[in-house]
Amino acid sequence: MTKYIYEFGPKRTEGDATQKNLLGGKGANLAEMATLGLPVPPGFTISTECCNHYFDLGKRFPDTLEVEVTCAMENIEKQMDMKFGDKNNPLLVSCRSGARSSMPGMMETILNVGLCSTTIPGLIAKTGNEWFVFDAYRRLIMMYSDVVMEKAEQIKPADGMGIRLHLEMMMNNLKNDKGYDNDTDISTEDMKTLCARFKKKIHEYLNVEFPDDPQEQLMGAIGAVFKSWNGRRALSYRRIEHIPDNWGTAVNVQTMVFGNMGETSATGVAFSRDPATGNNTFYGEWLINAQGEDVVAGIRTPNPLNNDTKNSQNRHLPSLEEAMPKLYAQLFDIRNILEAHYRDMQDIEFTIQEGHLYMLQCRVGKRTATAALNMAMDMYEQGMIDEKTMVCRLDPKVLDDLLHPIVDPAVEKTAVKVVEGLPAGPGGAWGQIVFSSEDAVRWAKSDKRVILVREETNPEDIEGMRSAAAVLTARGGMTSHAALVARGWGKCCIVGAGAMKINTETKELRVGSRVFHEGDFITLNGTKGVVYEGRLKMKDALENPRFQQFMTIADSFRTMEVRTNVDTPEDAKIALGFGAQGIGLFRTEHMFYGSDSDHPLFLLRKMILSKSKEERQVALDELFPFVKQEISATLLVMDNLPVTLRLLDPPLHEFVPQSLENQQEIANALGIDLEEVLKRSALLKESNPMIGHRGVRLGITFPEITRMQVTAIFEACAELIQTGKHPLPEIMVPVTCNEKELEFTHKIVNECHGAILNKYGIQALPYQFGTMIEIPRAALIADKMAKYAQFFSFGTNDLTQMTFGFSRDDIGSFMNDYIDNAILSFDPFETLDQEAVGSLIEIAVERGRKTRPDIKLGICGEHGGDPASVMFCHRAGLSYVSCSPYRIPIARLAAAQAAILN
Ligand code: PEP
Ligand code: MG
């Protein structure tokens, strides 16, 4: 019989923090905290395995579950000396989701389960607090009807509103009618009436009674939490974060403790260090007389936890340190215990019930990239963690944010301020205002940069937040769910800009007398929490000495080299600044794309459209000095470092002149008429240019093209050597699938090499000859390819294209459908498909080494800058990865972590 339930609490705990896969993050950490002796209300975790079985059984509980639940409930009842469903001394529980890795706000939670007509009078008698009981009941009704009765049943509201909105409207109307400012102002009688009206509305709207049986409520809540694993928000979040569908969520059933029992009760969220800056200060928010959802939902502006947490929005509110100093001291001790135990920044949830502190959650806290860097370095310097742990603390993906643009401080000084809020996500961003998630997605699809402006941060906005350059909200605190999400993504975000009045109907944003409309430009400084009018200039974040120090330590663990893909001397310089150890791919044909390349491009076209060998040779001779000059300049920048120069690999269709003017110019140059140019162009047209006359094939048909390029390379080298330089060229042949192609090309290279040694009268001109592996056939016959190739560079863009049979130029039309339907969990052009493309790489590595044990192996497809792919490359035994300049730090860190973790 499978065990589905694991208990936790002061008396009996079965799990621990290592069991996240089975118990989810929340369950595993509740167990760990209980074992540490912290005040955790007793409860139990239903495993993720049970969630998967529930779906396997067609959304039915396994037969043994209800009995297990009953036994576990009895154990809690004994510990609490209360009884679930009892009319005198009723126990209430919460049901919370908790996946392996945190998915803030993406799944469901139901509080106060067990309140019904039988238990309400008992709880009132026991607490002497009728208001509290009906406040708890109305919360149960609101959450339960929304989550269990509507969403879990997949009922699509006919009026587009949903039951929760209706109930919220009823509550707001009541507050307006009676002049109540806050929920806590509602009288007991009114709260009672509201509960009755709620239940009536539910019956009218959903055509079912609100359940009055505690056991039915409990099992309904457990099933609904399971179902929320496949809710819309959770699915979107999983796609974005590449979380597999088969992880499932656990359900945590836990004794309720109440932060809404009056002025000695409270609830809060805290971080053991500042998640925005990484400063070693306790950071958090809390609310008096409230339940946990109130803090994260952003309904009220939360109070600061302590002095360190005070800011312009909350300075007027008392801190927990001031209001409840003893409890604050206890919480502060717990913060220290948790940090010492986990040796990482913790995100904690707590509740104070009538002067007693309880811990409801702890987990590794999400943080900005800056905070991650600072915390890792601080904890290392304080001796809390070792070097290896420190290096692994920074997710390579977030390095982007560290190097991300900020609002130019010089421009910011004179910019017109619109409003201030809380700095929830780092860096700066400008964009056009939109007021809904749907608009953000739509505008972004048509290549507009948008700022999503919302009343409050709401997890339903996940897709829009993703599409927006930044997020701005009027309400909510630093720990609101969407602020957590934005921070996790390193997205610029400001929350709680309370002076904004948003009208989503008229699509207007008012601040005082100023009005902004949809489409107006604003700029956010997410590090300071300030919004400005218009589109301000951005600046690259200054090179941070601490970051350099961190990277130096990381580099000391790295065994793979990191090279770069660049095509100009200017980019080569930038890449050196980021730490490139050479060029892994210089795409020769790209020198014809850039600025100032009109003339060489014209010559290239002339060459392509030449008909006879003689005509072509004239064009090649004219082209030669341009090619040589560009290569020479690049080799000079990269002196003493390897530079992989790829022979021309132009998909010809990209270079054939399209405009009449260009066609006429070519006609004049070649001394032929326009008609003839059009005819020759038509002959070059291919149905599948990606697998057409490109790469090595071009050099097989026209060896003079290879000869021109190789001569340019060797002449450039010879001249550099004569001036005392040390060029290290590596000549690379693209799109090969047969060793004879290499034999053919190598012969030309050899001849040119001999000729240049003679011409310049030099003894040695070192170079390497190798090939890209881009076609599955080449990978499979790597042993033969290695007879000629001194190095392989895996061109995983084409290798992915040809392994999947997906055109790299056309995946936009179907890739999202593959992701949405969970056929693929990621885009294989972004992250290497280890299963098949990876297998081909492993085969090629093994077979290549059999022929040539010291063969040099690298990767130069886009995957060379993707952390997961870099990890794979390390395991596969490659000696370097090559990526675009801005991704070099990412690749360096990923390679260091790969070395540490393997
Ligand atoms: C590749 O195919 O992976 C590659 C690097 O070459 P290109 O992208 O130029 O085809
Ligand atoms: Mg390629």
Distance of alpha carbon 321 from alpha carbon 363, whole angstroms: 23
Residues 497-521 pLDDT 10s: 889 999 999 999 999 999 999 999 9
Tell me which DSSP letter residue 90 carries. E
Residue 252 main-chain phi, psi, to 5 deg: -105, 115
| Residue 539 pLDDT greater than 80, yes or no | no
622: left (phi over 0), alpha (psi -120 to 50) or beta: alpha
Average confidence (pLDDT) over 400-413:
78
CB of 278 within 8 A of CB of 378? yes
Q: What is the pLDDT of residue 320?
A: 97
CB of 357 within 8 A of CB of 320? no
Helix (H) or strand (E) holding 288: strand 283-288
Q: Is 781 or 242 the better-scoring residue by pLDDT?
A: 781
Using CA atoms of 417, 420, 426, 432 in order, give the dihedral in degrees to the nearest 10. -60
Q: What is the pLDDT of residue 661?
A: 85
Residue 251 main-chain phi, psi, to 5 deg: -120, 130
Which residue's CA is the closest to the ligand 1 atom numbered 1? 795
Q: Are strands 583-587 and 561-565 parallel, antiparallel or unpaired?
A: parallel
Strand-pair partners of 363: 347
Q: What is the pLDDT of residue 646?
A: 97
pTM of structure: 0.79
Ligand 1: nearest atom to the Cα of 649:
9
Which residues have beta carbons under 5 A from ligand 2 (an ion)?
774, 795, 798
Point out the catalytic residue in the list 860, 863, 873, 883.
860
Ligand 1: nearest atom to the Cα of 861:
3
Distance of alpha carbon 207 from alpha carbon 158, whole angstroms: 13
Residues 30-54 pLDDT 10s: 999 999 999 999 999 999 999 999 9
Ligand 1: nearest atom to the Cα of 774:
2
Query: What's the burial of 375, exposed, middle or buried (CB within 10 Å: 0-12/13-18/19+)?
Result: buried
Residue 50 a catalytic site member: no
Residue 883 a catalytic site member: no
Point out the catalytic residue in the list 481, 590, 746, 863.
481
Q: What is the pLDDT of residue 747?
A: 98
Residues 588-614 pLDDT 10s: 887 776 556 778 888 888 888 888 889
For tokens 């093994």, the residue is 846
CB of 882 within 8 A of CB of 562? yes
Amino acid at 548: Q
Minimal CA–CA distance to 152: which of 114, 111, 107? 107
Residue 804 corresponds to which tokens in the numbers above?
Answer: 């999947």
CA of 745 to the centre of ligand 1 (A): 19
Residue 413 corresponds to which tokens in the numbers above?
Answer: 């000084």
Average pLDDT, the chain: 91
Distance of alpha carbon 628 from alpha carbon 606, whole angstroms: 18
CA of 796 to the centre of ligand 1 (A): 7
Residues 289-337 pLDDT 10s: 988 777 766 667 899 999 999 987 788 999 999 999 999 999 999 999 9
Distance of alpha carbon 419 from alpha carbon 566, whole angstroms: 42
| Residue 100 pLDDT greater than 70, yes or no | yes
